[in-house]
Amino acid sequence: MSEQKWQDFESYVEKIMREKHIPGAAVAVSQNGEVIYKKGFGYRNVTTKEPVTPETIFGIASVTKSFTALAIIQLEEEGKLSVHDPVVKYIPEFQLNGVKDMDKIKIYHLLSHTTGLPPMRRREELNRLKDHLEYLAHEEYEMLGEPGEYFSYCNDTFLLLGEIIERLTGRLHRRYVTEKILNPLQMYRSTFSLEEVAKLENVSVPYMYSKKTKSYEEQPWPTLGNYEVGGGIRSNVLDLLKYGQVYLSDSSKYTHKMWNHLHPIKSNSYYGYALQVTPDYSGVTLVEHGGGQPGVSSNFGFIPEKGVAVSVLTNVSEAPAADLWLAAVNTVLGLSLDQKRSVEPVYEATSGELQLLEGSYESAEGGNITILNEENEWFAQAAGEKFKLRASASDTLVIEALELPLKFFIKEEGPAWAVLFGSRMLRRKV
């Protein structure tokens, strides 16, 4: 790979960082177990101007999910469980409102966010996994559908995998993942413990960028409570490359099931077990997962056919870490820097089709989006911004600026009752 290509990549990263107000980022790439690229960009602390290095620790947020999924797959490999087992086999008191036959909900439904539970109100004050069982049993909600029918990201069912691990092993989830995954891979600058983070050197400061004040606002590390099962690891890009080898080495064939059991989420994009898959990207498979928390945007993944692993970490909320990740992938593959995972087709929707999609959608977790028509132009309003839309199918609108499809769900003739916005299904507001 030419030096010039990486220089072009670095110019691209610096441009995106300026445009999207990213204070600091780190990128690392390995091929066949060898680190072929590593670099820090910007600042881990904007006040002291301390630079980011490849060793800088960031939150990795939901990239943590694949660690928990891997722990479950390892337990299956040891004969301790099957992902096709009902969850109630290990957690007999597990109950969801509106589900009469709990045997229908299998471990793989937790792994793939297909239980049918909608996005839930976050309860970060709950710090023992058994307390979450009480919450799920007594909270009011309406299921989206039958297990396996719909994909909708749900942290509150995913974290139950931690409870299964704890009951089977007699160890705290964080301790088990540390002993079985982090330590054997010598990921010694990766931890669930905020106390350890406070003792380590070269740690990023998490920020949110305020459009009002045009400045970075420092964020405390979220304590997360039970949500650490799906979002609690703090790490660095070099440790994540070590982790990538778990999926790329010859001895890890059992991990293939994590990206082979797939649920379609949008055109040319599928979800496996805590990993998202683009099966034909210029002839190769992209396997990845992103994450976001206050002060954290992350993306990690690999290309199995090429033995390539790539990790990107940033210290600001809502940064396009997945775009930086793909630009690094494109550099390795010799493709155009700004090639996308897929491009939605153009569809001429009728006014009748579009009217079925108009309206406001929301979830208890806090996500919301409004689809509106202004002088025969269609817009989405979300997170205080307005985005122009175009149709790519009778049930799909695309946020043009982000090339992000919004897939709507329509029963019979009525208006759409839900929309898949990113990875979460939001219901129509009544």
58-94: pLDDT as tens digits:
999 999 999 999 999 999 999 999 999 999 999 999 9
The predicted structure's pLDDT at residue 1: 64
Instruction: Compute CA 31 distance to the chain's CA centroid, rounded to the nearest angstrom.
Output: 23
421 pLDDT tier (thresholds 50, 70, 90): very high
Would the pTM count as exceeding 0.75? Answer: yes
Contact predicate 152/144, CB 8 Å? yes
Q: How many CB atoms lie within 10 A of CB 253?
A: 8
Tell me what the mean pLDDT of segment 105-123 comes to: 97
Q: By three-state DSSP, how is residue 275 classified?
A: coil
The predicted structure's pLDDT at residue 117: 97
Residue 430, pLDDT above cutoff 80 = no
By mean pLDDT, which of 245-254, 286-295, 418-427 is the weakest?
A: 245-254
The predicted structure's pLDDT at residue 146: 94
Torsion sign (Cα): 368, 300, 236, 166: positive
- Which of 364, 366, 338, 349 lies closest to 416 in space, CA to CA? 349
Residues 6+ apart with CB under 8 A from 62: 230, 231, 289, 290, 291, 292, 298
- Please classify residue 427 by burial: count the beta carbons closer than 10 Å to its beta carbon, then call 0-12 exposed, 13-18 middle and 19+ buried: buried
Residues 53-66 as b or e (16 or more Cβ within 10 Å = b): bbbbbbbbbbbbbb
Q: What's the one-letter identity of residue 333?
A: L
How close are the terminal C-alpha atoms of the chain, in Å? 55
More confident residue, 262 or 43: 43
Tell me what the mean pLDDT of segment 222-245 comes to: 97
More confident residue, 236 or 384: 236
- Which of 249, 247, 221 lies closest to 233 in space, CA to CA? 221
30-55: pLDDT as tens digits:
999 999 999 999 999 999 999 999 99
